[in-house]
Structure 1
Amino acid sequence: MRILLTGGTGLIGRSLCQHWATQGHELWVWSRRPLDVPGLCADARGIARLEDFPAELPLDAVINLAGAPIADRPWTTSRRQVLWQSRIDLTRRLVAWMAQHSTPIPVLISGSAVGWYGDGGEQAMNEASPPGQPNFGSALCSAWEHEAARARPHGTRVVLLRTAPVLSPDGGMLARLRLPFSLGLGGRLGNGQQWMPWIHLDDQVTLIDFLLKHADCDGPINACAPDLVRNAEFTRLLARSLHRPALLPLPAWVLRLALGEMSVLLLGGQRLAPTRLLSAGFAFRHPDLAQALATLR
C-alpha cells in the first residue's frame, strides 16, 4: 500500500511507520520538518506541502494524526487557537486536497480522542452514546471529526479514531507520570473516582493496521483497552509497578486553580468500552492494566 500520514513524527506515527515499513508499505509523511522524516519514520518520504506529493501516484490510505499536544499547557486563548488550527484547520486542508484526486482515496483514518465524550461521569458509554458534560476538549474533537467526515461524499471510508491516553515507555502520559511516581510523589487526582480509559501503544498501532484492512469498519471507533479502571486504581497499579507508594493525592481544588478549565482532563473521565473494535474481532495484546504496565518498566 501507498500511505500518507500526518503527525507521522509523533509517538503513534513513528511506531506506525516502523510497523508498516516491515510490511513493505510505501510511506509518505506530511511534516513541517520533511528532512527529519526518514530518520524518525523508518525511511518514509517527507513532504513539506501536500502539493509536493506526486499527483500521478494513487494513494491507498491517509492517516491523519496531526495535532498539537492538548495537555502540555493551560488553555489560554492563544493556546486554543494553536490546538484548533493544528486539528480542524489542518484536517480541512487535508480533506480538500483529497477531494482533488481523480480517483477517490479508499480510506481516511482520522484522529480524535475519548475527550469527544466530555465528562461522562458514571454513565457507561460506547460509540453509540451521546456526549456527557461538554468542555473545550469535547468541542475540539467534535469539530475535528466533522472536518474529517467531509471526505465521505468523495467516496472515502472515514474512520474517526477516538483514542484514549496512550501508555508508552518513550512518551505520552506515562512519561510525564514516571518521574514523580518513581520518587514516591504520586497519588490519586481529586477523589480518584473518575473513570480513566487508556491504551497500550502496541495495541494502538495494531488496531490502526486492523482498521486499515477491514473495510467494514467506519465511523467512530473507541481506541481504549477493555480493562476500564478508576483513577485511584490506575494510581495504585502504576505505583506498584514502580515499587513505590502512592501517598500524595492532589486535591481537586489545587488542579482547578493551577490548570483552570484544562483540569477537566484530569478530574473528568469516561466509562468507555471499545465495543465496535471487539465486535469486529480485534484482539488486544494488552487488555489488562497491570500486565500492560509491567511491559513498560
Structure 2
Amino acid sequence: MQASRIAVAGASGLIGSALVRSLGADGHQVVRLVRRAPRGPDELRWDPLRQRIDAAGLAGCDAVVNLAGAGVADHRWTAAYKRRIRDSRVLGTVTLAEAVAALDVPPRVFVNGSAIGFYGDTGDRAVDESAPPGSGFLASLGIEWEEAAAPAEEAGVRTVFARTGLVVARQGGAWQRLFPLFKAGLGGRLGDGRHYWSFISLHDEVAALRYLLDTEELSGPVNLTAPEPLTNREITAAMGRVLRRPAVFTAPAPAVRLLLGEMATDVLTSTRAVPRKLLDSGFAFAFPGIDETLRSALH
C-alpha cells in the first residue's frame, strides 16, 4: 500500500498499538480514535457507547480499522460486564460503520475486529470461514458484532471481519498471565488439555491486518490464526520446552470454572479455526508453529 491515511479505533490496545507502530514506521498517516480531548491532529475524538463521532474527521481516510472493545478477560463475566463487552464492540462498530457510510468519498476498506469465538465449541472439528456460528455468549457477540458493520457494507465499502484467535504476546492477552506462571515452574494444562487453542503471533496478527487492508479480493470473515491449531496439552508442552521449565501442574476444569466463573468458557472451549482465506490468497506466516511463536513473543 502506498502511503495512506488510516483511522484506527482501539489504537491503545495490544493489537492496535502494534498496528499503529507498524503503519507509522512505513510512512502511513495514522489517525487514532480516542475517548478524550484530542492532543494533536493525529487524534479524533469519539464516544462509541453514545454513538458519537465527527464523521468529517474521517474524511480523506483510505481505510478504517476498528479494534476497539472492552477486554474479554479483564473481569469476571457479571451481567454488567458482559453488557460492557457487547456494547463496546457492537455500538462502536455501528458508530464507525454509519460514519463511513455518510462520507461523500468513503474509505476503500473497513476492517472490523471480530473473534473466532463466533464458531463456539467445535471440539476436534476444524472450521474455516464458511462454518456457521456456534452457541453461547461469545458466538452471539460475534454475530451482533459483525452485523453492526452493515451500513458500511451497504454503502459499497469493502468490509472485512478479522476473526482473531489467541494472540501470543508478553504485553497482553492470555500469555501476559501465562508466561510468568510457566517461568516460575507453575504452568500446566487447563482441564483435560484436549481442547484446541487457535493461536497467532502478534507479528503475524499485525501482518495479517495489513494484508487485509491491501488485498482487494478479501472481504467478509477472515480467520486470523496460525495454520495449525494445537490442543492446550500440546501448547503446554511447548511452553515448558521453550522456557525450559517443568509444566506438570494441572488446573482441573471445575477449579477453573470456580475461579473464573462463566469466563472459563473462553479458556476451556475448543475452537479449532484454520485461516483458509489467508492461506488460499497467498499470505505467508512468519511464525506458523507454536515454538517459534513463543520465541518471537519472548524476544
Q: TM-score, normalised by structure 1?
A: 0.93
Query: Does the Cα contact within 8 Å between 1:110 and 1:159 map onto a contact in 2?
Result: yes
C-alpha deviation, 1:55, in angstroms:
5.2
Which residue of 107, 110, 131 maps to 1:108? 110
Are the structure 2 counterparts of residues 93 and 187 from structure 1 closer, same or farther at C-alpha, using a change threshold of 3 Å?
same
Give structure 2 stretches of 5+ with no counterpart: 47-51
Matches within 5 A, 1:146-295: 146-295=147-296
Find the counterpart in structure 2 of residue 41 from structure 1.
none
Moved over 6 A (4+): none
Are the structure 2 counterparts of residues 144 and 275 from structure 1 closer, same or farther at C-alpha, using a change threshold of 3 Å?
same
Deviation by residue 1:127-167 (Cα, 9 ceiling, x = unmatched): 111234x1111111110011023311101001000000111
1:94 counterpart letter in structure 2: L
CA distance in 2, matches of 1:233, 1:51: 45
Which residue of 90, 93, 97 maps to 1:91? 93
Are the structure 2 counterparts of residues 99 and 289 from structure 1 closer, same or farther at C-alpha, using a change threshold of 3 Å?
same
Are the structure 2 counterparts of residues 108 and 167 from structure 1 closer, same or farther at C-alpha, using a change threshold of 3 Å?
same
1:143 counterpart letter in structure 2: E
CA distance in 2, matches of 1:23, 1:253: 48
C-alpha deviation, 1:105, in angstroms:
2.1
Are the structure 2 counterparts of residues 269 and 34 from structure 1 closer, same or farther at C-alpha, using a change threshold of 3 Å?
farther
C-alpha deviation, 1:281, in angstroms:
0.4
Query: Does the Cα contact within 8 Å between 2:225 and 2:275 map onto a contact in 1?
Result: yes
Determine if the alignment matches structure 1 residue 66 to structure 2 residue 68.
yes
CA distance in 2, matches of 1:137, 1:119: 10
CA distance in 2, matches of 1:174, 1:258: 18
Query: Does the Cα contact within 8 Å between 1:227 and 1:289 map onto a contact in 2?
Result: no
Identity %: 38
Which residue of 31, 35, 48 maps to 1:32? 35
Identify which range, 165-174 or 76-85, moves more after superposition.
Answer: 165-174
Query: Does the Cα contact within 8 Å between 2:116 and 2:164 map onto a contact in 1?
Result: yes
1:210 counterpart letter in structure 2: Y
Are the structure 2 counterparts of residues 55 and 124 from structure 1 closer, same or farther at C-alpha, using a change threshold of 3 Å?
closer
CA distance in 2, matches of 1:83, 1:55: 26
Are the structure 2 counterparts of residues 124 and 208 from structure 1 closer, same or farther at C-alpha, using a change threshold of 3 Å?
same
CA distance in 1, matches of 2:38, 2:91: 23
C-alpha deviation, 1:74, in angstroms:
1.5
Find the counterpart in structure 2 of residue 123 from structure 1.
125
Report the number of matched residues: 290
Query: Does the Cα contact within 8 Å between 2:160 and 2:222 map onto a contact in 1?
Result: yes
C-alpha deviation, 1:52, in angstroms:
4.5
Find the counterpart in structure 1 of residue 49 from structure 2.
none
CA RMSD of aligned residues (A): 1.7
CA distance in 1, matches of 2:291, 2:281: 25
2:216 counterpart letter in structure 1: A
Query: Does the Cα contact within 8 Å between 2:55 and 2:99 map onto a contact in 1?
Result: no
Are the structure 2 counterparts of residues 55 and 16 from structure 1 closer, same or farther at C-alpha, using a change threshold of 3 Å?
closer
Query: Does the Cα contact within 8 Å between 1:120 and 1:131 map onto a contact in 2?
Result: no
Query: Does the Cα contact within 8 Å between 2:223 and 2:276 map onto a contact in 1?
Result: yes
Find the counterpart in structure 1 of residue 15 from structure 2.
12
CA distance in 1, matches of 2:230, 2:37: 39
Query: Does the Cα contact within 8 Å between 2:55 and 2:102 map onto a contact in 1?
Result: no
C-alpha deviation, 1:26, in angstroms:
1.1
CA distance in 1, matches of 2:185, 2:122: 30
Query: Does the Cα contact within 8 Å between 1:117 and 1:130 map onto a contact in 2?
Result: yes
CA distance in 2, matches of 1:232, 1:214: 35
**Corresponding residue SS for 2:297:** coil
